[in-house]
Amino acid sequence: MDKFLLRCITVTLLSSLGVKAETAIKPVDLQREKEICVELLGLGHTYRENKSCDKAIKTYHLAAELGSKDAQTQLGKLYLEGNCAKKNMKKSVQYFQHAAEKGDADAQNNLAVSYMAGIGVKRDPKKAAELFKKAAEQGWSEAQFNLGICYTKGIGSGKDLDKAQELFKQSQLRGKNSINSTAVDQRAQDISQVSAKVTKDTWVRNWE
């Protein structure tokens, strides 16, 4: 879709935020484009919180068309969850792919989960591990934990309990993780005990 036309379409949405129409439809201005994406993303969040799903999806789509990786990630989640949009795994993967290519750690982690579990794409543990690593290197705690599982069980990568232990610790320090502090602080034998409890559900995110 032509970007000028997109700006015209956004006028109605942006007016609710007090943004002047002539400002929204100026010729290409990269800084203004970023601002529009942020405004659309925030409006999409508001619509979603208010259960206005159709408006939320349309708003996210506009931001995604303008190149917002955050909006692309949100659409990936919506199509995966099926709560605010009709569940569509292929669309979910496509949007995660777009955002992941732009370096979005959340999208990289979610795309890795899709490859690990074969959700909307052919199962590819090696590709999943590579994506977990990219997100983990950006400090994404869920990806650090998931990559730790890969190294613990040798899924998509070789086994490396020392790396797994370090990743579990990093994940715990950064917040969200699925492993308790006692297990994190133990040596290799304890990591092995943790790995024995891992099931396929580990690769299905909590989408809160």
Q: Would you list the domain boundaries of the chain?
A: 1-102
Query: Full-prediction pTM beyond 0.85?
Result: no
Superfamily of domain covering 1-102: Tetratricopeptide repeat domain (1.25.40.10)
Q: What is the C-alpha separation between 144 and 122, in angstroms, rounded?
A: 23
pLDDT for 20: 46
For residue range 39-93, what is the model confidence (pLDDT) as tens digits? 888 989 999 899 899 999 999 998 998 889 999 999 999 999 888 889 999 999 9
For residue range 6-36, what is the model confidence (pLDDT) as tens digits? 554 554 455 444 444 444 444 456 677 778 8
- Distance from first CA to last CA of the chain, Å, rounded? 32
Percent pLDDT > 90 in the chain is: 47
Model confidence band, residue 122 (pLDDT cutoffs 50, 70, 90): very high
